[in-house]
Structure 1
Amino acid sequence: MSSRRVVAVLALAALVLTSGCIGFLTGEETLTFESEPATADATVAGNAGYETNGTETFAVNRTLSFGGQERQIAASNHITTYEKTLDLGFFGEAKLGSFSVISTPAVEVAGQPRSPIGDYSNDDLIRLVDNRYQGLSDVDQVSSRNVQMLGQTANVTKYSATARFGGDEVDVYVHVTKVQHNEDFVVAIGLYPQQLDGEEENVLELIRSVEHPSEA
């Protein structure tokens, strides 16, 4: 057996000992990871005019290779969303802002990081907003600043973009940041129309107020 093969086998053995998952070693079971939910402080959100839509769980499955063998892992992630709306009477309600907190496991298998989020820059993370808002166009970085989140210095990048809400296009600002906290990566994303004066500070306060883990 080659030295590389020996290392792979030892890595798998160490993984089994720490996870207790014999089925993962044999390929009969999927190794599972789950993040702790993250939220914004309810008082801060309420004072800024945001209401939560609750916390959802979504799964991501990946195939990993060890010593020429393929094994399956599944990561359960959480996303908590908040929205700010204004009642326009006869014209109905208009969405004025959105704030999302995403937690995903900082997966390590055999001592190696296996979560793509860990390598994502803020430019990569804004693609998550792409998926949620039916696409962003004309995305440009406006500024960058440091804000405290979960006791750490988080780099918050501000972008200008055009977002599609239903059939309408709206010029928006998007704020994106990420930190690793405990066993998870926590991502915060704030989006609001550019015409909404003063909303940037509300988003930054929401970022500062993020709690993890939370009682979601």
Structure 2
Amino acid sequence: MAPNRRALVAVALAVLLATSGCIGFLTGDEALSFTAEPAAVADSAAQEAGYESNGTRSIEVNRTFEVAGQERRVVATNQLTGYTKSMELGPLGETEVGIFTVVSTPAVEVAGQTLNPIAQFSNQRLIQFVQQQYEGLSDVQQESSQNITVQGTETTVTKFSGTTTLQGQEVDVYVHVTKYRDGDDFILALGVYPQRLSGEEENVLSMMRAIEHPVED
């Protein structure tokens, strides 16, 4: 049985929420707003890999902090673009067998200082956070890493193995994670698929290489 969309997208959302909750020492009278530019995979690359876009959605995080007796509101808007891959699996019918997610999150720079905590997160730290927040992912182990070029930037893709439980059955999965900065935003890409799906690693890597940011209208 393959992981479904709800279970695997939790992996991406857990990381997304991690990037927005630690902005706590800004001062001033008016709210500071930061909005990431959307990121997505080039249509031709997604189609070639067999993935269909679920569109892009914004997730706004609104926080009020008290610093030195003053309150300050900070609004950070992240963008999440999701893709799924479905295949016909005999008696199971058409089943989702892969999830790919691209998250763009603002660096949040004030006085030359980057406040977004994802700036300091390694791929290993990202996957640890995911495991802490998403109880369905267990037995996570690093398998390998390699460098690829995305938007002219060399970035490291780390491959992890893990297990998730769906409808009472254990499913072995691979999770690929990479992160880099482009302009004022950090870009995070996650690909998750069953280990038994032969050849899917190259599809995930090809989609990572084809990330565009910002997305052209």
Cα distance per residue 1:88-110 (max 9 Å; x no partner): 35422222111100000011112
Secondary structure, counterpart of 2:41 in structure 1: coil
- Looking at structure 1, the residues matched to 110 and 87 of structure 2 have their Cα atoms a distance apart, in angstroms, of 46
What's the counterpart of residue 34 of structure 2?
33
Identity of aligned pairs, percent? 51
Structure 2 runs not aligned, ≥5 long: 1-26
Q: Does residue 1:76 correspond to 2:77, yes or no? A: yes
User: Do residues 94 (structure 1) and 92 (structure 2) align?
Assistant: no
When Rg is computed on C-alpha atoms for both structures, the one with the higher figure is 1
Residue 206 of structure 1 aligns to a residue whose secondary structure is helix
Give the structure-1-normalised TM-score. Answer: 0.80
Partners in 1 of 2:83 and 2:128 — Cα distance?
19
Alignment partners' CA distance in 2, 1:191 and 1:69: 43
- The equivalent of 1:182 in structure 2 is 183
RMSD: 2.3
- Deviation track 1:142-170 (CA, whole Å, cap 9, x = no partner) reads 00110111110010000000123454321
- Whose relative contact order is higher, 1 or 2, with alpha carbons under 8 Å and at least 6 apart? 2
Matches within 5 A, 1:187-198: 187-198=188-199
Q: Which residue of 2 aligns with 1:115?
A: 116
Aligned partner of 2:106 in structure 1 is 105
What letter matches 2:143 in structure 1?
V
Residues 133, 163 of structure 1: 8 Å contact kept: no
Q: Is the 8 A contact 1:176 1:187 kept in 2?
A: yes
Stretch deviating more after TM superposition (173-182 or 81-90): 81-90
How many angstroms apart in 2 are the aligned matches of 1:106 and 1:59?
Answer: 14
Match of 1:158, SS? strand
Gaps of 5+ in 1: 1-23
User: What is the DSSP-based 3-state SS (H/G/I as helix, E as strand, rest coil) of the residue aligned with 1:46?
Assistant: helix
Secondary structure, counterpart of 2:186 in structure 1:
strand
CA distance in 1, matches of 2:191, 2:76: 24
